Amino acid sequence: MTIKPLIILPDPVLRQVSKPVERIDAESLQLADDMLATMYDAPGIGLAAVQIGVPRRLVVIDVSREGEEKTPLVFFNPEIVASTDARSTYEEGCLSIPDYYAEVERPAGVTVTYVDRAGEKQTLEADGLLATCLQHEIDHLNGTLFIDHISRLKREMVIRKFTKAAKSKI
* Residue 59 vs 115, nearer CB to Ni ion: 59
The catalytic residue positions are 137
Least distance (Å) between residue 24 CB and Ni ion: 23
Least distance (Å) between residue 106 CB and Ni ion: 13
Tell the burial category of 29 from Cβ atoms under 10 Å away from its Cβ (0-12, 13-18, 19+). middle
For residue 7, state whether it binds Ni ion (rule: CB under 5 A): no
For residue 147, state whether it binds Ni ion (rule: CB under 5 A): no
Return the residues of window 58-97 that contact Ni ion according to CB under 5 A: 94
Residues 6 or more apart whose CB falls under 8 angstroms from that of 114 comprise: 75, 76, 77, 78, 79, 121, 122, 124
Return the residues of window 90-129 that contact Ni ion according to CB under 5 A: 94
For Ni ion, the nearest residue by Cβ is 94
| Rounded distance between C-alpha atoms, residue 23 and residue 88, angstroms | 35
* Residue 24 vs 130, nearer CB to Ni ion: 130
Q: What are the residues binding Ni ion (CB under 5 A)? A: 94
